[in-house]
Each structure stands twice: as C-alpha cells, then as structure tokens.
C-alpha cells in the first residue's frame, strides 16, 4: 500500500520523474544492529516461562514493533522537514557525479548478494531471454498486424520486443519453470538450491493469504469484535489496527535517523541517474525538495501502518527504463495503482509472490546490470584526466569497502566511552554506501578543483567536459507541478517556497522571448 501511494505521489507531485518507491533497504542494517542490544534481543524460555508454539509471545513482539513504529514516525517527520525547508536543494549543489558514482557503486555491491540468492536457483534462462530481446534485437522492430478504417489491414513496425523485454522474459522464465517442475527436472527437496525454482515451492501462500486485506494504522484501545466478520467466508480484517500504540525508543530512533540520512543521499543519486536515463535536465532544487518531502511523509505513514521501515527510490527501476526505453510517468502511476490493488486483494498478491526465484533473479541481473551502467555513465561529465578526480573516486570506493569489513571483524572497535555514540558510529561505518558517499562528498568539496572538471556544470544543465552542450528531449518544465492555478504561480508563496518553481522568473523569460 505504501509503495503504491508513494509512487503515485512521487510521479505526480513529487520530483516528477518515473521512479518507483519501495521499501528502503537503508533501514535493514540499522534494524539488524538493534538485535545486538540487550533490550532488543529475544528473551529465553526460562525468563518467559512460556510453552506455546511461538518462541516469544505476541505481546512482547508487538511491544517491540510499536517502538519501531513510533521511532520511524519521528524520523519520518524530520525526513519530510528536510525537504519542506529546502535543505535538500542546498545540499544537492555539493553532491556531484564524483559523490554519486562511489555511493551507488557500493549500493550495487550489496545488491549483488541478494541477486545471487535468487539467481542461483537456476542461472541464465530469464536473463538470456531479456538480453536477446533488449540488446541483440534492439535495432529491429516487431511486425504487428493492425487494422484501421482508413487503411484497412496493414502491418505496423514497432520495437514491441524491446519495450516489453522484461515482461516477456518473466513470462518465458515462468513457463519454463512450469515445464521443468512437472517434468521432474527440478529437485523437490526443500533443502536443495533448485527447489525455489519450482512453481509449486510456495503455494501455501495462496491458501494462507485472505481474499481481502486492508492495511490499517495502529491499534485503538477499543476494539470492535464482529461475529459477522469472524463467520464471513471472505477473511476481511477490520479497520482498527494490528499492534499496540506507537512508542518512542532512543536506540530505534538512532537507527531510523541513520537510515534516513542514507536514504536521502541515495534518493538524490537516484534522481540524477533517472534524469540522465530519461534524457532530461538534472532535477532543480525545488524538485529535489518535493521528492524528499513526499518520501518523508510516506515514511511517517509507514510507521503508522506498522511497516517497520521507510520508503525511498529504487535504482532497479532506472535500469528497467534503460532496457525498455519506456520512461513515461503514466507507466509508474499505473504501477502505483496496481500496487494499491495488490495490497487489498490478498490472493492476487499471493499469486505474484509465488513467482519462482529463478525468474526474479534473472530480471534482477537485467535491471541492476543496466543500473550499474547508468551509474558509470555519470563519469562522462567528470574530467578523468585530472589526478584529483581519480584519487577521490579511488579512495572513496576503497574506504567504502574497507570500513564495513573492519566493523564486521571488530564490532566493538569503536569505543568513545558513550554507548549511544558508539552504536551510531558503528551503524554508519558498517554501511559502505554511506561511507563511500560521505568520503567522496567531503573530498570533492574540500580539495580545490573547477566546477567543470568536477561535472557540476553538466549537472546544472550546462555543458559537458569538452564544452559540448548537453542534449535533452525535454527541458526543466518536466519538473513543474501540474494543475496549479495561475494566481498561486504569481503569488509570493511561489517565490519563497523551496518546493515550488520560481514561476515569476520563468514568465519573465517567456515575455523576453516573445518581445525578441
């Protein structure tokens, strides 16, 4: 539900780029870090004196979840205020390609571990189909029979196989898994790697999921019990909530804030990468501010509904744009509507969850591979003949690999004498994306170098490193908010608000062009 609503808002009134919003992986490491604390570890059976099926009673689990909810709501509020006050737009002036490339390079490094988990079940089939359709056949068009009243029956030529290359690859891989499953080629042993390439490996999800499910906020003190709902054929959950009332917890809040910082940096990098892939100017400050504002607001509501983590932009979606060449906002808006439907229609959601791991892994190789290429394309704006730039790129990437490895070997290596500070610094040092981005940003803005050499002029829509004007399919008008009345555009609010374009300046430019 949160992914669908966030994607709709981001494409419509947010940064206005076709970026998918989903569960933020930035929150995973801080959440895992909490398990090392005594108050967040699972109590033993002797302490609980509990002999039920669950290792820990639901009351204790819900109490911990409520702490995550409240802490995430506070962090989400700070997140949206960073966008609302315009702080992101000011910070983005100092975040150029030299910062973006090391940060996202480390992000791909961590993503590859997840990709292997899915792809190792059956390597190659889905990926091979996608590569053939999107790369080997990219210069060809598909003949499509068509009929119109004026021309009658005729053939139109359209690169359909490239636009729908990922979808066709998923269908091909799924059908192949069905054939291999019923032919007995794939192992039926749950401990085997091949097991999750079978189409019947997770069919129990279909029976467990209700027909309808409505995501709802925190539990109210007064619950309404309805015999009608209990006896209903369709398992419908009432609107009064899942867990106890949200609580604030300092360690959980520290972890959420670390994740919020990393999420903001990641989103700024993704916005620039998406703009490059769509052949539009890099986002101006008001678009960045709006994007971070809506991400923060959705993270706040994610805390209310009990998600446990915030939402941010997805790099894999940017890679998919590179494969399919489909960069329309309408596609992502439709995707947002589909996600909302999946949240409500439990059986439909479960059907897609049963997609074989081999198919998921194959598609991940495709769009994360393209995303990695998009990241490297940012270097075309940087003068790679300058030793300064090469040194910053190399040092930041190396330190981004080194510090997390050091923390893994010595988890108690940081000891300042202040427990909360040690925990926060350890969480930061364990995240290579944050380390590489921070080191690159610090060195890029403290070591002297020209803006042209650093690639900042290209980011502002100027020229590349050889002085050639950048070519775009559309201008910065793609970031304007639709449906705003003219009175609001001419108001003082539009001139002072960091989330609105300066429409007065754009009107002056239009008048000058008309006079000329």
pLDDT digits (tens, 9 = 90+) for 50-98: 555 556 677 777 778 888 888 888 888 999 999 888 888 777 778 788 8
Q: How confident is the model at residue 239 (pLDDT cuts 50, 70, 90)?
A: very low
- Residue 455 has what DSSP assignment? T
User: 200 and 181 in contact (C-beta within 8 Å)?
Assistant: yes
Whether 200 has a pLDDT exceeding 70, the answer reads: yes
Whether 398 has a pLDDT exceeding 90, the answer reads: yes
Contacts of 267 (CB under 8 A, 6+ apart): 291, 292, 295, 312, 313
Contacts of 153 (CB under 8 A, 6+ apart): 145, 146, 147
Query: What was the pLDDT predicted at 396?
Result: 94
Query: What was the pLDDT predicted at 60?
Result: 75
Q: Give the phi and the psi of residue 170 in degrees, each rounded to 5.
A: -60, -45
- Element (DSSP H or E) covering residue 297: helix 285-305
Whether 175 has a pLDDT exceeding 80, the answer reads: yes
Query: What was the pLDDT predicted at 381?
Result: 81
| Kind of pairing between the strands at 21-23 and 152-158 | unpaired
Whether 482 has a pLDDT exceeding 50, the answer reads: yes
Q: Would you list the domain boundaries of the chain? A: 1-40+57-138+164-221+238-479, 487-515
Decide: helix, strand or coil at residue 190: coil
| Kind of pairing between the strands at 21-23 and 311-313 | antiparallel
Q: How confident is the model at residue 230 (pLDDT cuts 50, 70, 90)?
A: very low
Listed residue (1, 103, 135, 161) closest to 431, CA to CA: 103
Query: What was the pLDDT predicted at 509?
Result: 45
Q: How confident is the model at residue 503 (pLDDT cuts 50, 70, 90)?
A: low
- Residue 385 has what DSSP assignment? T
**Cα 112-113-116 angle, rounded to 5 deg:** 85
Highest mean pLDDT among 58-62, 75-79, 352-356, 463-467: 75-79
- Residue 38 has what DSSP assignment? G
The per-residue pLDDT of the chain, averaged, comes to 78
Whether 258 has a pLDDT exceeding 80, the answer reads: no
Q: How confident is the model at residue 469 (pLDDT cuts 50, 70, 90)?
A: low
Query: What was the pLDDT predicted at 369?
Result: 82
């Amino acid at each position: 539900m949160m992914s669908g609503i966030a994607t709709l808002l981001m494409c419509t009134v947010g940064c206005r780029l076709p970026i998918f919003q989903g569960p933020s992986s930035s929150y995973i490491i801080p959440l895992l870090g909490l398990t090392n604390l005594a108050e967040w570890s699972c109590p033993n059976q002797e302490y609980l004196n509990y002999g039920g099926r669950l290792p820990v009673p639901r009351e204790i689990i819900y109490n911990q979840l409520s702490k995550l909810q409240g802490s995430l709501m506070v962090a989400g509020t700070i997140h949206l205020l960073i966008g609302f006050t315009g702080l992101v737009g000011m910070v983005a002036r100092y975040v150029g390609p030299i910062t973006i490339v090391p940060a996202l390079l480390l992000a791909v490094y961590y993503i590859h571990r997840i990709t292997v988990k899915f792809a190792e079940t059956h390597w190659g089939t889905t990926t091979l189909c996608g590569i053939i359709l999107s790369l080997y056949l990219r210069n060809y068009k598909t003949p499509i029979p068509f009929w119109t009243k004026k021309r009658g029956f005729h053939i139109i030529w359209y690169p359909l196989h490239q636009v729908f290359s990922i979808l066709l690859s998923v269908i091909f891989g799924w059908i192949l898994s069905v054939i291999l499953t019923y032919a007995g080629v794939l192992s039926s042993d749950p401990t085997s790697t091949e097991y999750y390439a079978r189409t019947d490996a997770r069919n129990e999800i279909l029976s467990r999921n209700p027909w309808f499910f409505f995501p709802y906020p925190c539990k109210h003190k007064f619950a309404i019990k309805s015999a009608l709902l209990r006896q209903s054929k369709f398992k419908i959950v009432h609107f009064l909530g899942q867990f106890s009332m949200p609580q604030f917890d300092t360690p959980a809040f520290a972890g959420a804030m670390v994740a919020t910082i990393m999420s903001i940096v990641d989103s700024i990098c993704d916005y620039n990468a998406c703009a490059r892939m769509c052949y539009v100017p890099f986002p101006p400050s008001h678009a960045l501010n709006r994007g971070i504002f809506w991400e923060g607001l959705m993270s706040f509501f994610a805390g209310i509904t009990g998600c446990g983590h915030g939402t941010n932009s997805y790099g894999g979606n940017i890679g998919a744009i590179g494969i399919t060449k489909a960069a329309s906002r309408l596609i992502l808006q439709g995707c947002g509507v589909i996600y909302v439907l999946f949240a409500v229609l439990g059986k439909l959601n479960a059907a897609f969850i049963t997609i074989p791991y081999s198919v998921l892994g194959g598609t991940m190789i495709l769009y994360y591979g393209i995303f990695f290429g998009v990241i490297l394309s940012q270097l075309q704006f940087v003068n790679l003949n300058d030793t300064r730039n090469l040194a910053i790129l190399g040092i930041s990437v190396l330190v981004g690999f080194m510090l997390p490895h050091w923390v893994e070997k010595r988890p108690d290596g940081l000891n300042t004498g202040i427990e909360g500070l040690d925990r926060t610094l350890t969480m930061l040092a364990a995240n290579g994306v944050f380390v590489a981005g921070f080191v690159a940003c610090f060195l890029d803005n403290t070591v002297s170098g020209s803006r042209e050499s650093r690639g900042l002029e290209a980011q502002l829509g100027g020229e590349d490193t050889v002085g050639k004007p950048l070519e775009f399919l559309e201008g910065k008008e793609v970031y304007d908010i639709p449906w705003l009345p003219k009175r609001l555009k001419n108001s003082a609010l539009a001139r002072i608000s960091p989330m609105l374009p300066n429409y007065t300046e754009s009107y002056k430019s239009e008048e000058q062009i008309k006079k000329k």
